[in-house]
Structure 1
Amino acid sequence: MIAALAASTLAFTLAACGSSSDSTESTAPETSATAAAASCPTTAPESGGEAEWTYEGATGKVAVTGSTDTTAPIIDVTTPFSVTETQVHTLQAGDGPVVADSATVSVCYVGVDGRDGSVFDSSYERGTPADFPLNGVVAGFQKAIAGQTVGSTVAVAMTPADGYPEGNPAAGIEKGDTLVFAIKILSAQG
């Protein structure tokens, strides 16, 4: 029940500063046969490997290694980390179809706050993917996923404007925080 509540909270949290359109679509997680059969690995990766993406921010630095079939990703942050422009990097390209801007996706993800390097949300910790429409989430999350191919693992370092410009106290995100995500795209519909 806690995992389901946490997944619902994320969908709400990501949607809270999402699209500015007046859409009446639900932002609650959707269940699909593909997502139901999938899971997010909960095993921590072995340390010491080389990062797949390293980025020097306006302040600080981030190093990201994507997930594998058996391990969660690693996001190492030299704090405070901030960016002045949202950065998206494909860690591992998938071979599935291209994800449309308005697709409903199933993903595994971890989100880290650049201010202090803390994990504020992770479907990897829950072991369960999150399903949601891209037109109902924060702009940085949509920028990271739309145009990628299903099966890809991507990293995004998003400006506060593309995340939560006024912060999100329930998630421990303060006004002005840069957010970093590692995302595995499991499926997309639409």
Structure 2
Amino acid sequence: MRPSRLLLAATAVTLVTGTLTACSSNAAATCPTGAPSTANSPDWTYQGQSGSIVATGPTDSASPQITVEKPFTVAETHIQAFNPSGDGAVVGDTATVSVCYLGVNGRTGERFDSTYDRGKPASFSLDGVIPGFKKAIAGQKVGSAVGVAIAPTDGYPTGQPSAGIQPGDTLIFVIKILSAK
């Protein structure tokens, strides 16, 4: 089984910065692999500096969907909590979390990583991920789903070639927070 591109990218960045404290897969939980629901109205519509996005969050049986009018760019990271919000504990800044996520590149409109495709969540310390991912999760409640448009300065300012991310790319994620310790 190949590791996810986000996990590889986080590991590569972390090896350079020396901050990775935990990274593994949580085999007990699953991420729904069903096709996104077309019956639900979007949870988030957002106009960027250029382009726009429309996102629908995950359900118990369906994966999320992100549609991009490209190129989509933002100068500052924007976070959108989806309804209903989770009812678990608030996630701390240094928590180790288990999440399901879908990542899309704003420049290309293409997904570059998805735990939903694999059906298994990713687990990691918030100290070991890009700043925009941490900003999206820390302070949310376990059980919540959020969307985040990550500005290049909070993502990969110099790019991440292994994931097809070029310098200056805006990244969009839909994240479902399953647990936090």
Q: Normalised by the size of structure 1, how large is the TM-score? A: 0.88
Question: How far off is 1:38 after superposition?
Answer: 1.0
Distance 2:71 2:121 in 1: 29
Distance 2:74 2:16 in 1: 23
Specify which of 167, 171, 177 is matched with residue 175 of structure 1: 167
Asked whether the 8 Å contact 2:79–2:136 carries over to 1, the reply is: yes
Which stretches in structure 1 are left out of the alignment for 5+ residues? none
Is residue 40 of structure 2 the alignment partner of residue 6 of structure 1? no
Question: How far off is 1:48 after superposition?
Answer: 5.3
Specify which of 88, 106, 131 is matched with residue 114 of structure 1: 106
Distance 1:62 1:171 in 2: 20
Is residue 42 of structure 2 the alignment partner of residue 51 of structure 1? yes
Q: 2:119 is matched with which residue? A: 127
Is residue 148 of structure 2 the alignment partner of residue 156 of structure 1? yes
Which stretches in structure 2 are left out of the alignment for 5+ residues? none
Distance 2:38 2:99 in 1: 24
Asked whether the 8 Å contact 1:110–1:119 carries over to 2, the reply is: yes
Could you say if the C-alpha distance between residues 162 and 183 of structure 1 is closer, same or farther in structure 2, counting changes exceeding 3 Å? same
Task: Give the match's secondary structure for 2:27.
Answer: helix
Aligned length: 180
Matches within 5 A, 1:1-190: 1=1, 5-7=2-4, 9-17=5-13, 22-23=18-19, 25-29=20-24, 35-47=26-38, 49-92=40-83, 93-189=85-181
Task: Give the match's secondary structure for 2:149.
Answer: strand
Asked whether the 8 Å contact 2:70–2:109 carries over to 1, the reply is: yes
Root-mean-square deviation over aligned CA pairs: 1.8
Distance 1:55 1:67 in 2: 18
Asked whether the 8 Å contact 1:12–1:28 carries over to 2, the reply is: no
One-letter amino acid of the counterpart of residue 6, structure 2: L
Asked whether the 8 Å contact 1:79–1:114 carries over to 2, the reply is: yes
Cα shift readout 1:142-176 (whole Å, capped 9, x = no counterpart): 00000000000000000011000011110011111
Distance 1:141 1:15 in 2: 14
Task: Give the match's secondary structure for 2:3.
Answer: helix
One-letter amino acid of the counterpart of residue 14, structure 1: A
Distance 2:14 2:44 in 1: 26
Q: What percent of counterpart residues are identical?
A: 52
Asked whether the 8 Å contact 1:19–1:139 carries over to 2, the reply is: no
